[in-house]
């Protein structure tokens, strides 16, 4: 379980304190997908960055498996515990996508090859795209490639910020359905921020403002 206890985040300016997130409490359980539904600018991306440990809370504590995540070295947390897709993912611009993916866990083992092919097909990523470099891809292709690489990590916490922003409605629905299956099959915690989730998956929506 991933637990947020009284999480706050603010930026201290010379004359005032800018509060981005205040006193957020939530338990995130494995085998479930959670969707954040909030007004724009209310702290969704900040919360995801806190859970991914890209930034640290100014108040409160985040626990994973009954341990404060701050007690886990960041490098170990990022490598072994969390898979994070930010709104603007960074990938090497001129590195072939195929070689970059291979350095993120794709080996000759049949299981991993099948896993890779399954996700590639669901995300509608062509072999031509995989053989290309990141800099020549369209915005939609870049987003799907970044999501592919994130899913391939297979960590116990999956954090996605606007993962279907550039997808048409049918593809977006297919991706969300697969992420739900992926979450249950792998026993993970998935947290998604996406404005397109407002009118669906109501049972799993988390509101805060």
Domain residue spans of the chain: 2-88+138-207
Place of tokens 């338990």: 27
Give the Cα separation of 28 and 92 in Å (integer). Answer: 32
Residue 39: predicted pLDDT: 63
What 8-state DSSP symbol labels residue 96?
B
Q: pTM for the complete prediction?
A: 0.88
Helix (H/G/I), strand (E/B), else coil: 106 = coil
**Which fold does the domain 2-88+138-207 belong to in CATH?**
Rossmann fold (3.40.50)
Exposure b/e, 124-158, CB count within 10 A at least 16 = b: bbeeebbebbbeebeeebbbbbbbbbbbbbebbbb
Which residue pairs from 134-138 have beta carbons closer than 8 angstroms and sit at least 24 positions apart in sequence? 134/91, 134/92, 134/93, 134/94, 134/95, 134/97, 134/100, 135/93, 135/94, 137/97
Find which of 12-16, 101-105, 121-125, 135-139 is predicted with most confidence, using mean pLDDT: 121-125
Q: Over range 178-198, report the average pLDDT.
A: 85
* 175, burial (CB in 10 Å: exposed 0-12, middle 13-18, buried 19+): buried
**Helix H or strand E encompassing 177:** helix 169-186
40-68 per-position pLDDT tens digit: 666 889 999 999 999 999 999 999 999 99
Give the Cα separation of 99 and 131 in Å (integer). Answer: 8
Beta bridge partners of 191: 34, 159
Residue 192: predicted pLDDT: 94
């Amino acid at each position: 379980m991933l637990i947020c206890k009284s999480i706050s985040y603010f930026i201290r300016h010379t004359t005032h304190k800018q509060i981005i997130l205040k006193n957020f409490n939530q338990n995130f359980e494995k085998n479930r997908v959670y969707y954040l539904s909030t007004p724009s600018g209310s702290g969704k991306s900040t919360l995801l960055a806190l859970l991914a440990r890209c930034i640290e809370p100014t108040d409160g504590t985040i626990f994973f498996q009954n341990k404060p995540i701050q007690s886990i070295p960041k490098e170990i947390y990022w490598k072994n515990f969390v898979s994070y897709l930010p709104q603007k993912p960074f990938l090497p611009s001129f590195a072939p996508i195929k070689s970059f993916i291979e350095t993120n866990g794709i080996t000759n083992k049949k299981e991993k090859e099948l896993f890779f092919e399954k996700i590639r097909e669901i995300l509608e990523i062509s072999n031509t795209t995989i053989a290309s470099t990141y800099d020549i891809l369209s915005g939609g292709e870049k987003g799907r490639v970044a999501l592919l690489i994130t899913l391939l990590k297979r960590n116990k916490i999956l954090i996605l910020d606007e993962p279907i922003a550039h997808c048409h409605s049918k593809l977006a629905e297919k991706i969300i359905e697969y992420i739900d299956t992926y979450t249950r099959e792998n026993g993970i915690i998935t947290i998604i921020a996406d404005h397109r989730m407002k009118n669906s998956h109501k049972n799993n929506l988390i509101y805060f403002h």
